[in-house]
Structure 1
Amino acid sequence: YAMNANIEAETAATIARTQIIPAVAKHLILLDDADADLLEKESRGLFDQLVDKTLALEDANQYPDGIEEEGLELAVYARDKQLAAMHEVREVADKLERIVSDNYWPLPKYSEMMFIK
């Protein structure tokens, strides 16, 4: 359980840092160039939240000193820290998915998976 949770959490942090954050940064530049102040403010707030939540997830992915490498203690840590932090990243990313231009969003959107093709 803990190993699977760790893989999911590490992958989520990597996707957020290397794909979603850069895409949102490009989106912010687009909004700034278009003088879309209200949209930029909304996007900037979510961008800042995503950066903070991603850093918190990366921190949670570093096991604290003294924790056993397997067993109940590690499973509880994975559930309470890693998966909880991953959920927070996901919540913000889901909000950003709805507002970032399709040209910049690096992953398939829910609407594409559910209704297109």
Structure 2
Amino acid sequence: MEQPLFIFHEAYEKYRLKNHVIVNNYISLIKKESETLSKNDLLELIKIKKDNLIKELLDSFNVFYDECSENITNERAKEAQKEKPLLFKKYIRDFINEDEYYVSLFEKGINHLL
């Protein structure tokens, strides 16, 4: 069975694992900081870290995309990438985007602290 466009299983699993590590690191940081912060300060820290998490997830996708885009073998995908690179990247991002899932993991991981 041919995988859609160029998403290689190994690279995708590495990308997903990295995202889980990123989320867990943020949860650990919030838990540690929650011991010494007031509720208002904790809420502010959570807001900042959530924004940082979203940015880091995007960076993670960009690394994944760059690694995979070098190895595209599907001719139609190569043409699409060449003709409209930003649209092609957006299509791939939309196809595999799991940011909401990772943000919800983050929120569930810290919810009991609030």
User: Above 0.5 in TM-score?
Assistant: no
Per residue, is there more helix in 1 or in 2?
Answer: 2
TM value normalised by structure 2: 0.38
Q: TM-score normalized by structure 1? A: 0.37
